[in-house]
Amino acid sequence: MAPRPLSKIDHLLLGVDKALRAVVPNSNPSTRPLPVSSDDIPELTITEARHVAGLMRINHTGEVCAQGLYHGQAFTAKDEGVKQAMQHSAEEEVDHLVWCETRLNELGSHPSVFTPLWYGMSFGLGAVAGAISNEFSLGFVAETEAQVSEHLQDHIKQLPEHDQRSKEILAQMDLEELHHRELALTSGGAALPPPVRQTMRWMANRMKATAYHL
């Protein structure tokens, strides 16, 4: 017997479930193990651990924002193919979310207390981008992933020399973020106007400054 088509209520409940999993810590199963070469947990000083936790909290917040962005774009996407692509990208990014949560737990720290706010703001931005056009929406993804890659590479440089564990996690995330960027561009993403890119960068910097501490 073929499964019945999902109703509007079913889709709504699935959307709510995805949103909750994005903002509630440790609520997602990872489909892949941590991308690390050793199970050894590096020993860090108190100062080093606090700094690494701040960086990982920023990266976790970035992944929460990615979930909100993709979910919002899928919600308003005009093309079914683009909608499915956004949903698929969000699913791939779940592993990044779990990896950051795992490292935060190892450091005895926690995600940003503003996680629901970050998700909500990103969902709104994604919904607006998706409503404008497919090309703009995909271009928004490409620019977002490019900026995420920049701060991942900067964080890798800031990590303590002996924290190979965090470095390997962020390096793998960076590779996959750049892959998502290329997919968005090859799928028809348009270059965004400079004022839009600058506004995105300003907002990202405000988020990073807040999430590092809170």
Residue 168 lies in a domain: yes
Read off the pLDDT band of 46 (50, 70, 90). very high
Q: What is the mean pLDDT of the chain?
A: 86
State both tokens at 90.
């969000």
Which residue stretches of the chain are H helix? 8-23, 46-76, 80-106, 115-132, 134-158, 164-186, 194-213
In this model, does residue 179 exceed pLDDT 60?
A: yes
Residues that constitute the known binding site for Fe cation:
63, 93, 96, 145, 177, 180
> 190-196 contacts: CB < 8 A, separation 24 or more?
190/135, 190/136, 190/138, 190/139, 191/139, 192/136, 192/139, 192/140, 192/143, 196/143
Domains: count for the chain: 1
Read off the pLDDT band of 164 (50, 70, 90). very high
**CATH number assigned to the domain comprising residue 181:** 1.20.1260.10
Buried b (16+ CB within 10 A) or exposed e, 187-202: bebbebeeeebeebee
Residue 20 lies in a domain: no
Residue 158 lies in a domain: yes
In tens, the pLDDT along 183-203 reads 888 878 888 888 988 988 898
pTM of the predicted model, to two decimals? 0.87
Residue 44 lies in a domain: no
In tens, the pLDDT along 34-44 reads 999 988 899 99
In tens, the pLDDT along 95-134 reads 899 999 999 999 999 999 999 999 999 899 888 888 888 8
Residue in 142, 19, 138, 9 with CA at minimum distance from that of residue 71: 19
Q: Residue 108 sits in which domain range? A: 55-213
Residues that constitute the known binding site:
63, 93, 96, 145, 177, 180
Residue 1 lies in a domain: no
Residue 11 lies in a domain: no
Residue 22 lies in a domain: no
State both tokens at 146.
């490019």
In this model, does residue 211 exceed pLDDT 70?
A: yes
In tens, the pLDDT along 53-95 reads 999 999 999 889 888 888 888 788 777 776 676 777 777 778 8
Residue 84 lies in a domain: yes
